[in-house]
């Protein structure tokens, strides 16, 4: 039995989902933990409730719905495109207190019109909140993981630094620390003189033999991911990353990009102007950005209520493109949030790539706002 009561507007919400042509889906409360540990991101991993099966399999209480809905879609071999809706309890530690609360949302799987599906996800989230919170002015904050990735790639950073920066996107303090680090090279002091000499000389074979001998002497077992060769490769990358400093001019370009924050009404011109003035080849990212803005306009979203922030991300590792959150204007409580997660389906075991976008609603926060409406 649930430990908390369903909000009184739950039936209204489910009816709204029906009008949006979605199929209601439910998923087990007990979930395999591995997909969340591998894909959900450090922020969520810290807050999930773990357990294990009689056979020792790592399990967890369902901390969110996106991964379970995608797993269920793959297991049932349901064709696409498919639009799922859900409403149920999720379990995780929350900063504002509490460990169990209700979420609802929509996952759109397999729609090949990326810009159109992105726009529909945002529009459906706005429409749902407007129906549940009549008369309340809403504000949308929007970012794009793929745009940030394109800028970082165009700056010509080593692939290792690109991965680190992309992984930190959405966590402001971590990203700021990495950018500050890119302003100055550092030396690696924990490799030991002998290993440092082999790396400096580029003596790969000797280094691998040295690592293998240590592993044999200490009884450390090797596998595909921790073989002597892979450890040598990681040490080489660690040394290269530590000694990398971004050209000051390029660092200023990156900072300028992350400072962009404008109404979505003006964002296409602002982004295109930035790309031209910085001399970065971002034609593909600009075209995709423009297509989404056009789709949002075409579906009737008021662009003046949407703010595009170049530095805005969400702390879940599976996002690949659009990310957004919705609040009541001048209120910090996030009522809805979502984005695009195109790589997730194949990582979870789908036989082919399936484009995917969706959003979730925090029902207890919506209920609190409803209670404050006079």
Tens place of pLDDT for every residue, the chain, 374 residues? 455 789 999 999 999 999 999 999 999 999 999 999 888 877 788 889 999 898 989 999 999 999 999 999 999 988 889 999 999 999 998 876 678 999 999 999 999 999 999 999 999 999 999 999 999 999 999 999 999 999 999 998 877 778 888 888 988 888 888 888 777 765 555 567 777 777 677 777 887 888 878 887 777 765 544 688 887 776 666 666 566 667 788 889 999 999 999 999 999 999 999 999 999 999 999 999 999 999 999 999 999 999 999 999 987 788 999 999 999 999 999 999 999 999 999 999 999 999 999 999 999 999 999 999 86
Distance (Å, rounded) from C-alpha 172 to C-alpha 312?
8
Q: Which of 324, 332, 365 is nearest to 141 (CA)?
A: 324
318 is known to lie in a ligand binding site:
yes
66 is known to lie in a ligand binding site:
yes
86 is known to lie in a ligand binding site:
no
92 is known to lie in a ligand binding site:
yes
**In the chain, domain spans:** 10-150+262-372, 193-242
Q: For residue 317, what are its two tokens?
A: 């590792």
107 is known to lie in a ligand binding site:
yes
Question: Which pLDDT value is given to residue 4?
Answer: 75
Architecture of domain 10-150+262-372: 2-Layer Sandwich (3.30)
256 is known to lie in a ligand binding site:
no
65 is known to lie in a ligand binding site:
yes
266 is known to lie in a ligand binding site:
no
Q: Which of 20, 25, 26, 23 is nearest to 131 (CA)?
A: 20
The kind and range of the H/E element at 262 are strand 261-263
- The number of C-alpha atoms within 13 Å of 23 and in the hemisphere containing its C-beta is 13
Residue 2: CB atoms within 10 Å: 9
């Amino acid at each position: 039995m649930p430990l908390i009561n369903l909000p009184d507007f739950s039936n209204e919400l489910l009816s709204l989902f029906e009008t949006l042509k979605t199929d209601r889906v439910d998923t087990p409360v007990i979930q395999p933990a591995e997909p969340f540990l591998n894909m959900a991101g450090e922020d969520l991993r810290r807050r999930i409730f773990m357990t294990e099966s009689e056979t020792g399999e790592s399990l967890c209480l369902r901390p969110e719905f996106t991964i379970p809905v995608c797993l269920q879609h793959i297991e049932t071999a349901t064709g696409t495109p498919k639009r799922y809706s859900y409403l149920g309890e999720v379990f995780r530690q929350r900063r504002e207190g509490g460990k169990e609360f209700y979420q609802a949302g929509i996952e759109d799987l397999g729609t090949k019109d990326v810009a159109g599906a992105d726009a529909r996800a945002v529009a459906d989230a706005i429409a749902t909140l407007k129906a549940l919170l009549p008369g309340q002015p809403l504000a949308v904050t929007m970012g794009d993981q793929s745009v940030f990735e394109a800028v970082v790639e165009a700056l010509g950073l080593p692939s290792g630094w690109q991965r680190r920066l992309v992984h930190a996107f959405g966590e402001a303090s971590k990203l700021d620390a990495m950018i500050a680090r890119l302003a100055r090279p550092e030396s690696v002091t924990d490799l030991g003189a002998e290993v440092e000499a082999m790396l400096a000389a580029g003596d790969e074979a000797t280094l691998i033999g040295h690592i293998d001998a240590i592993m044999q002497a200490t009884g450390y077992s090797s596998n595909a991911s921790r073989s002597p060769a892979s450890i040598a490769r990681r040490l080489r990358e660690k040394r290269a990353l530590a000694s990398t400093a971004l050209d000051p001019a390029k660092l200023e370009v990156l900072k300028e990009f992350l400072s962009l924050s404008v109404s979505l009404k003006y964002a296409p011109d602002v982004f295109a102007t930035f790309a031209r003035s910085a001399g970065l080849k971002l034609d593909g990212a600009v075209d995709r950005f423009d297509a989404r803005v056009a789709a949002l306009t075409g579906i009737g979203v008021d662009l003046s209520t949407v703010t595009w922030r170049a530095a805005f991300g969400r702390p879940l590792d599976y996002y690949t493109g659009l990310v957004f959150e919705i609040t009541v204007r001048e209120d910090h409580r996030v009522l809805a949030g979502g984005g695009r997660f195109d790589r997730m389906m194949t990582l979870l075991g789908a036989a082919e790539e399936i484009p995917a976008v969706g959003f979730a609603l925090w029902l207890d926060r919506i209920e609190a706002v409803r209670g404050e409406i006079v």
